[in-house]
Chain A
């Protein structure tokens, strides 16, 4: 999956000479937490977060209507240089950037121009889509030996039952490198025939019904 498929392209940005007050208004109005700062060529030269703006704002205990602090130019508080990504980067790769650098958002740049933004929330949303938990399905987990060709063998059992698989994940099995856990989400209300087929083919079905057996 590519960044261009998940990025937000309606980006709210500011010029370096805008006031902090303008930034505060935009953050509140659009419910966003970051504003990229761009020059006249749309090139990203900095970024401000809601925390940067808050640090530069007067305390809530200060009284008065007009605050001089808020009239400072945004470039005086922006962070730079900015870590940016490209629309053709892989989502998996940028997940690692988020994790390592503890960023909460990344501007997307093509030909030195700002074209989008990806936030932590967009990343999580994408992960939810990848797990398939957001669509109608049942889930089962199968423990299999870690060897070539195992996935199509197990998946063919679903195909024979005319059952559509909505997502597949492959987990490590505890610390044992000789096994993997295959997690299938698939569209049926009655997983019993598939569970029986899997067992008949000598695969170990970990869930459902392995923790406590009902009716025995």
Chain B
């Protein structure tokens, strides 16, 4: 069998993961991305792979059996509000809905399909935009996430392939669920760049959260200030990812590609533009090639402007996975014509953003300075360790 450059895990049933019509988490964005890429001529039948459904045993790699049982009960409409509370089910963030267990298991299965596709060498890279649900905890749903597909996949890789995993999370929210599940594991390194928790959910992800016991030094958090723009974001991302990859020497990279750091995103206070989402996958691909013989699995995640932001940003992610290059120029007219009818806001014309899509940020200098200081402080740990090792080895 010929090895493909990249695989696109996809099923229309991803949209069954649907809380209610007022809820900001809307998997229609995956359909929109797929159609955009098809209209652009970047996505063909041979790239598509259908996701499998994760089994209960696979979910139990990271989730408590009692929690899974509660989700199954909720899925069938048999879980009381009172029982739901302690598992984070039935809140405004994660309301119960029928078939929630099945649809959440499909998202996890999609990520496992992506893992197997890459590790069985059917493709160098694989993308599951249905996944990236990084707020799922061992026995608790939170922040729109029921099962934590990224965490299940990491545990699955550890048990079945015994590879060292670097998890890089560029969602605007802290990747707290994945961090918590591997906090004491030195074979899994988690790196999260997010808006500081001063105001934004989940409030955690301080730079002093570095792991526990033998896992100490394998958790990295880079909290950036509200209203951070492209330049400063990318400077933190590039330095952090490069140095941590060099320090950890991963066998496989999993990226969580939430795209809610964009200035249009209604839930966060960061000010990235498309430029950030063009650069993020370029570096991920480069480092996956440099350290992991290309083994890279990318996941979706947050992204709540599903009209103007998510399809373009995730489209660029796929383009980089497939070709190593970003797409330029105008968006396909047929795609725009179809979705413009449904969109409450007018859709952009181009793949790129113009430079004036948000108001000038008055505190830009201070924000950049604070982010830079945070970056240096956080990376000091691996620099010290590198220095120690080099001195130690010379002896």
Considering the chains assembled together, what is the distance between the CA atoms of A187 and B141 in angstroms? 12
Most A Cβ at <10 Å: residue of B23, B203, B226: B203
Task: Report yes or no: A139 in contact with B91, Cβ–Cβ below 8 A.
Answer: no
Task: Report yes or no: A208 in contact with B201, Cβ–Cβ below 8 A.
Answer: no
Given contacts A137-B203, A161-B92, A212-B361, 16 further A-B contacts (CB under 8 A): A162-B91, A187-B91, A187-B142, A189-B142, A189-B143, A189-B202, A190-B23, A190-B144, A192-B266, A208-B226, A209-B269, A212-B359, A214-B269, A215-B264, A215-B266, A216-B359
Considering the chains assembled together, what is the distance between the CA atoms of A162 and B173 in angstroms? 22
Interface size on A, residues (CB 8 A): 29
Interface mask (B90-102 → A, CB under 8 Å = 1, otherwise 0): 1111000000000
Task: Report yes or no: B204 in contact with A212, Cβ–Cβ below 8 A.
Answer: no
A189's contact among B22, B201, B362, by CB below 8 Å, is which? B201
Interface residue? A129 (CB, 8 A): no
Task: Report yes or no: A133 in contact with B201, Cβ–Cβ below 8 A.
Answer: no
- Give chain B's interface residues, CB within 8 Å of chain A: 22-24, 90-93, 135, 142-144, 173, 176, 197-204, 226-227, 263-264, 266-267, 269, 271, 358-359, 361-362
Task: Report yes or no: A138 in contact with B264, Cβ–Cβ below 8 A.
Answer: no
Give every chain B residue within 8 A of A171 (Cβ-Cβ): none
Could you name 6 residue pairs across A and B whose Cβ atoms are closer than 8 Å?
A136-B176, A138-B203, A188-B201, A189-B144, A189-B202, A190-B92
A207's contact among B199, B201, B204, B271, by CB below 8 Å, is which? B199
Q: For chains A and B in complex, what number of residue pairs have CB atoms within 8 angstroms?
A: 82
Interface residue? A140 (CB, 8 A): yes
Considering the chains assembled together, what is the distance between the CA atoms of A193 and B97 in angstroms? 20
- Chain A residue nearest to B22 in the complex (CB): A193
Task: Report yes or no: B93 in contact with A189, Cβ–Cβ below 8 A.
Answer: yes
Contact flag A139-B199 (CB < 8 Å), given A162-B92, A193-B92: yes
Give every chain B residue within 8 A of A162 (Cβ-Cβ): 90-92
Shortest beta-carbon distance from B385 to chain A in Å: 22
Task: Report yes or no: A188 in contact with B203, Cβ–Cβ below 8 A.
Answer: no
Task: Report yes or no: B203 in contact with A133, Cβ–Cβ below 8 A.
Answer: yes
